[in-house]
Amino acid sequence: MGFQYLNDKQYAKAETSFSNALSSEALLQEYALYGLAQSQYLQANYASAASNFSRFLDDHNDSILLENGGYYLILSYSNANMTDEALSSADEYLKNYPDGKYAAYIAFKKGEILQTEDDFRNAFRAWNEVDLFYPLSSYAKLARINMKSIAEVHRSLKYHPNPKILFAKGEDAFNRNDFDTASAIFNRLAREFPKHKLTAKAFLMLGRAEMEKGSDDSSIKDIEKSYEMSDTTQQGKSLYYLGRANARRGRYERAANIMYKAATRYPRSEYADSALYYLGFYFEKLDMGDSALWAYMTLINNYQKSYFIDDAILKAGRLYYVKGDYKASHDIYGIAKSLRVGSETPQCLFMWGLTAEKLGNIPNASGIYYYLAERFDHTYQGYRALEKLTKLGYATPRMQDDVSRAKGSNEANIEEVMKDWQDSNPQMLDSMEVSNRINKYERLADMGLEDFAYQEVRQLLSKTDDGQKESAQMTLGRVMQRSGEYARPISLVEGGIRSAVLSGSASKIPQEKWMLAYPKGFWDKVQESSKKHGVDPYLALAVIREESRFNPKAVSRSKARGLMQIMYGTGKGLAKSLKIKPFKKSTMFNPETNIEMGTLYLADLIRSFNGNQSLALAGYNGGPNRVRRWFNNWYNGDYDKLDIDEFVQNIPLSETRKYVQKVMGSYYEYKRIYD
């Protein structure tokens, strides 16, 4: 009742309800106390609110509402003119939540409070830190205005931040992918400390942040400054990023020259192998195949522990393959079997088998395919190897049955999810904290306060010990799926699945984990539309998974929209066929409409490519006219001559090539799990 009254802005009634709850509701004391304080704050009873928010923070220091409570405590103290307490609470908040949702405002508010106390020096310092550490917030501009105003009166005021703290703050923003903030911080450091030992690194980080933002010209200028200022230990790294920045502007010849210097002048640099890899890539862009081969082979021969080793093998093998030198291609692909396993290792092994076929050595090819299917089960290439073995008339390895034939929807009821977690984690139920949180979750859910209940579940699972992390993650994933959130559950488990597949331990992955990674989101509509338009519903699911991770509001860089990422122009034609009126861009954010349009488009592509799903997927991503041009150029339009594995391998656009493999890999998994 208290929270309902708060929503209805009946604050006095809310206060009465929360007061009654405090004396009668033992389990949810923190919610009652927080609600009481908030209702008092909203009635401008700031002293009482401050007292209760303070009590809330002292008595419930593991609450999910802790950050909100700290925020309102500061405002309550400030509005009650309790200056010392407000400043102390602000410092405590910024210490605990330096990147919190209220951090920029609290840092600015601190300056305002200090100004009211005529402490201009510390107010100036506080606002300087707002400008430094929250440069993109709306409060940074206000802070600069206030600093200018104070400085006009108190001309002696100056503030020089610690460069090390500034650099660390910039790095933190960069690592959080907040490249705008990182750029602003590194730019400030480089401008204010031109001769500091960190300045060269700051220019490099500034250039990297600008490169991530797409500001390539600025990136090039700043990385060039970094190179000029760096010592020899840093120059190889600067050259590497300078080459990358130039390549992003399409200056491949210049990029190749820079990467050649980075690789040959600094062979012991941590970026030497990366420089060789990109050098080969840029040479390919310049149609300098032999030079690209030199770069890749130098990497393969000299840096066999490199992160890029499997990709270098794949690219070198492909260069020999397109030249028709299948023997050299076969020999290079075979190297992958004895080196570090990477994401491209299965692809290298598949091409090893394919080149053995090209050389007429079918027994050798079948042995490679058998090894690939067994060792790299659950990869796209592993599934293709199984199909190759069947086509060649050879026995196939026995597939694991642990993920097959999962029935029904994987959207478990939240109560069932929590019961399962409690059953599988009995040792944790002895903990008073765990027991209380479970009880709070159940009580909140019974009251219909689902947002709070959901946050309690997340907090509970975040505190699970390392030994139970996997169980906790899967439980959290199921809770999220129940609420219609699919992307985060996929991200929770897909890294572990990928590692298990590459390490050869995929058979140990439980069925529940596969179902989290490959959810049946919007399943009823997918089935209905797929049946209507003649598409395998699991192929439609695979497209949705790889296109949008089941996010109905997804928008790509090319402005494709919705679950199946449909371009507006394509959407207009589909809408006309489906008689969808009126049609506008926002129409494609409707899940049912988007699925209807996407399955129709996919069905049309499959029919236009003679029933070939891989060609249709290539057209879905890269455009059907482009795919038809490749098909006609390579196979003269003759489907009898089509080698689909060779076709996919030779797709010139890496994004489209990988897209076909990803979607088909997901399709195989969906069929295996549910069909």
Q: Provide the annotated active-site residues.
A: 547
The one-letter code for the residue type at 543 is V
Closest CA relative to residue 346, chosen from 321, 317, 371: 371
Ranges assigned E (strand) in 8-144: none
Find all residues with CB under 8 Å of 216, minimum gap 6, and list them.
Answer: 210, 245, 248, 249
What are the backbone angles phi and psi of residue 307, rounded to the nearest 5°?
A: -60, -30
Length of the chain (residues): 675
Burial grade of 654 (CB within 10 A; 0-12, 13-18, 19 or more)? exposed
Could you count the other beta carbons within 10 Å of the beta carbon of residue 115?
18
Measure the CA–CA gap between 344 and 329, rounded to whole angstroms: 15
Measure the CA–CA gap between 170 and 181, rounded to whole angstroms: 7
What are the backbone angles phi and psi of residue 555, rounded to the nearest 5°?
A: -135, 125
Closest CA relative to residue 333, chosen from 341, 318, 325: 318
CA distances to 343, 412, 561, 613 from 279, in Å: 20, 50, 35, 34
CA distances to 252, 258, 278, 282, 531 from 247, in Å: 5, 10, 9, 8, 46
Could you count the other beta carbons within 10 Å of the beta carbon of residue 34?
26
Place of tokens 């040959």: 264
CA distances to 532, 533, 575, 608 from 579, in Å: 15, 15, 6, 22
Instruction: Give, to the nearest 10 degrees, the angle between helix 537-548 and helix 654-674.
Output: 130
Find all residues with CB under 8 Å of 215, minimum gap 6, and list them.
Answer: none
Place of tokens 């990674």: 517
Closest CA relative to residue 18, chosen from 47, 40, 46, 42: 40
Could you count the other beta carbons within 10 Å of the beta carbon of residue 674?
22
- Cα 89 from chain centroid? 34
Measure the CA–CA gap between 456 and 435, rounded to whole angstroms: 12
- Taken in order 156, 162, 163, 166, the sign of the CA dihedral is negative
Place of tokens 């050879």: 394
Measure the CA–CA gap between 531 and 517, rounded to whole angstroms: 24
* Per-residue b or e along 179-189, where b marks 16 or more CB atoms closer than 10 Å to that residue's CB: bebbbbbbbbb
Could you count the other beta carbons within 10 Å of the beta carbon of residue 221?
16
Burial grade of 42 (CB within 10 A; 0-12, 13-18, 19 or more)? middle
The one-letter code for the residue type at 456 is E
Place of tokens 């019974």: 446
Measure the CA–CA gap between 21 and 5, rounded to whole angstroms: 13
Measure the CA–CA gap between 258 and 244, rounded to whole angstroms: 9
Closest CA relative to residue 34, chosen from 62, 57, 4: 57
The two structure tokens encoding residue 318: 């492909």
The two structure tokens encoding residue 175: 């690592």
